[in-house]
Amino acid sequence: MKVFFAGAGGAIGRRLTPLLLAVGHTVVGTTRSADKAEAVAKLGAQAVVVDVFNATALHDAVVVAKPDVIIHQLTDLAFAPGTPQYEEGLKRNARIRAEGTAKLVAAAKSAGVRRMIAQSVAWLYKPGPRAHVETDPLAPAEGAAATTIDGVNALETAVLSLPEGVVLRYGFFYGPGTWSPGGPSRPPAVHIDAAAQATALALTKGRPGIYNVADDDPALSSEKAKRELGFKPAFRVKP
């Protein structure tokens, strides 16, 4: 299977690309920076430098690649929580989720790509008395989180407009290459390797729709991902 991997140079891309190649997939990996193209190529992917906000260039890259499926792991979170620039990063990330996703979905439709697997988040559910499942509503877009929630809603709506759109709502990442390399910082959480494994499984498994992908947590259920994708929270990439 040929995979167009948008954001292959990110934290999850560095763990996911080798998993895809190991089972025989071909990966065309994008990065916004020419400086990072070499790192993507070293993972074994065919590196393509393209800005997701450049609709024409993005369309051409997808059409030339002729992928069977697109993986969308684009983020813009250069600043860690607690730093002065963090709020700026959230706004930039919301723009990628809204505008960037819309352009990527448009390119997919133009190229006839039916299946897209996209990164979302599992910590924006409206508070409730039980473990959240995928059909539970997200929190209203108000207050400090409004920008993030608006971006997530835009991303999920766009991806699910595809015939085989799959949204993976990850917990907070921890593990190699993340802001929490030593372990979970807060719930819901998911090890970066387990998130990568779920994404790789979603290439060929699972019906279109939304899946929670996180460690076992009393406030969040990932049973659907375990059942339909074969997600294993304890999965780790072998050294």
pTM of the model: 0.95
CA-based nearest residue to 79, from 66, 92, 68, 70: 92
Cα 52 from Cα 227, distance rounded (Å): 33
pLDDT digits (tens, 9 = 90+) for 21-57: 999 999 999 999 888 999 999 999 999 999 999 999 9
Return d(Cα 116, Cα 202) in angstroms, integer: 9
Give tens-digit pLDDT for 127-153.
988 899 999 999 999 987 899 999 999
The pLDDT value recorded for residue 87 is 75
Measured between alpha carbons, how far apart are the two ends of the chain, in Å?
25
Q: What homologous superfamily is domain 2-229 in, according to CATH?
A: NAD(P)-binding Rossmann-like Domain (3.40.50.720)
Please give the Cα distance from 226 to 198 (Å, whole number).
Answer: 9
CA-based diameter of the chain, in Å? 49
Q: pLDDT at position 79, please?
A: 67
Q: Tens digit of pLDDT for each residue in 185-197?
A: 999 999 999 999 9
Whether the per-residue pLDDT at 171 is higher than 70: the answer is yes
Q: At what angle do helices 101-111 and 146-159 cross, to 10 degrees?
A: 0
Question: How high is the pLDDT of residue 143?
Answer: 83
Sequence-ordered list of residues with C-beta below 8 angstroms from that of 97, at least 6 positions apart, any chain: 151, 152, 154, 155
Phi first, then psi: give them for residue 159, nearest 5 degrees. -65, -40
Predicted pLDDT of residue 13: 95
pLDDT exceeding 70 applies to what percent of the chain?
99
DSSP-derived letter for residue 129 is S
